């Protein structure tokens, strides 16, 4: 028997996808995996507002907004500098190489939370879905470095080393996270997608600046275009968990402490990286 033809593949896939959609009562993603929460990828989804701890989720959004607004230049990670054309192309390359290190390790940081949430199947599966969505993002960043700057993918990107102080730590090991995990493993994970909430605006600014100020073509900017909206949905994963699983007042306080500690460290790291860039 010969292998399946392209025509058979296309026909079978179309027929089976239509059949599955007619009998499966839950949202299916294009890969035929269940969406972790019905409707969460729909425009304007707000189910979290109907959950018991919605007020806590609202309060944390306001709290994080206050940190972002007071430190926008640093929380937005160079995007204001790019918008002003302040960085040279060499500085952009170095800062993006540094950024790649954090993006490449991000799925590992996320999936580590699975082991602390094995008893909660819903949260476990949300973590795994989030991890899967992040896996390809590092290669989109690598594409920018390879096709935008002519770097070698293996030598310069995959095996690159930190070049500007220490790399950013996206939700990894923090004392406040460790304390929160003991009280609420689900909320400890939720800090990770929650802290992605500033990224859509940041990447909109960066993508526009890289086109208009630095002349990069559309075909190398897939990472920025994707991230101009995808983290809207990642914040929703956090809001859902926060509004559903955060009944403890102690957990609320520990979550707030963790958000403040992580944001402050990110601000310090980006300030240090910026100083290193300007010293070159």
Residue 10 pLDDT grade (very low, low, confident, very high; cuts 50, 70, 90): confident
Residue 253 scores a pLDDT above 80: yes
**Mean per-residue pLDDT, 17-22:** 71
**Mean per-residue pLDDT, 41-46:** 88
Non-local CB neighbours of 240 within 8 Å, separated by 6+ positions? 37, 40, 47, 48, 51, 126
Query: What residues form DSSP beta bridges with 34?
Result: 28
**Mean per-residue pLDDT, 58-69:** 96
Is the pTM for the entire model greater than 0.85?
Answer: yes
CA 274, CA 174: separation in Å to the nearest integer?
A: 23
Residue from 168, 277, 145 nearest 223 by CA:
145
Q: Which range scores top for mean pLDDT: 4-13, 28-37, 97-106, 257-266?
A: 257-266
Render the burial of 71-101: b for 16+ CB within 10 Å, e for the rest.
Answer: beebbbbbbbbbbeeebeeebbbbbbbbbbb
- The residue ranking higher by pLDDT, 20 or 100, is 100
Q: Is the dihedral of CA 130, 136, 139, 140 positive or negative?
A: negative
The per-residue pLDDT for range 198-249, each reduced to its tens digit, is: 999 999 999 999 999 999 999 999 999 989 988 999 999 999 999 999 878 9
Residue 65 scores a pLDDT above 70: yes
The per-residue pLDDT for range 118-172, each reduced to its tens digit, is: 999 999 999 999 998 888 888 999 999 999 999 999 999 999 887 776 666 665 5
Average pLDDT in the chain: 88
Q: What are phi and psi of 28, to 5 degrees?
A: -110, 135
CA 226, CA 81: separation in Å to the nearest integer?
A: 21
Burial of 203 per CB tally in 10 Å (0-12, 13-18, 19+): buried
Q: Which of 177-181, 266-270, 276-280 has the lowest mean pLDDT?
A: 276-280
The residue written with tokens 């309060």 in the block is: 59
Q: Is the dihedral of CA 65, 134, 262, 96 positive or negative?
A: negative
């Amino acid at each position: 028997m010969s292998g399946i033809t392209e025509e058979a593949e296309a026909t079978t896939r179309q027929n089976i996808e239509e059949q599955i959609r007619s009998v499966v009562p839950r949202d299916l993603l294009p890969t035929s995996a269940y969406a972790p929460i019905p409707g969460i990828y729909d425009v304007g989804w707000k189910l979290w507002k109907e959950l018991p701890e919605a007020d806590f989720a609202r309060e944390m959004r306001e709290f994080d907004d206050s940190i972002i607004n007071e430190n926008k230049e640093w929380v937005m990670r160079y995007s204001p500098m790019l918008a002003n054309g302040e960085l040279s192309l060499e500085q952009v390359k170095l800062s993006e190489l540094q950024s790649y290190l954090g993006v490449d390790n991000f799925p590992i940081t996320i999936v580590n939370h699975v082991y602390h949430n094995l008893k909660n199947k819903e949260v476990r599966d949300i973590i795994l879905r989030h991890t899967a969505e992040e896996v390809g993002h590092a290669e989109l960043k690598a594409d920018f470095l390879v096709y935008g700057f002519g770097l070698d993918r293996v030598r310069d990107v995959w095996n690159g080393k930190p070049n500007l102080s220490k790399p950013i730590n996206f939700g990894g090991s923090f004392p406040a996270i460790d304390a929160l995990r003991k009280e609420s493993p689900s909320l400890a994970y939720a800090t990770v997608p929650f802290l992605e909430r500033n990224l859509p605006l940041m990447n909109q600014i960066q993508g526009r600046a890289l086109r208009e100020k630095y002349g990069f073509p559309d075909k190398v900017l897939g990472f920025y275009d994707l991230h101009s909206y995808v983290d809207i949905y990642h914040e929703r994963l956090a809001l859902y968990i926060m509004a559903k699983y955060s009944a403890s007042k102690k957990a609320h306080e520990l979550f707030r402490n963790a958000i403040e500690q992580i944001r402050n460290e990110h601000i310090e790291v980006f300030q240090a990286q910026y100083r290193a860039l300007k010293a070159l």
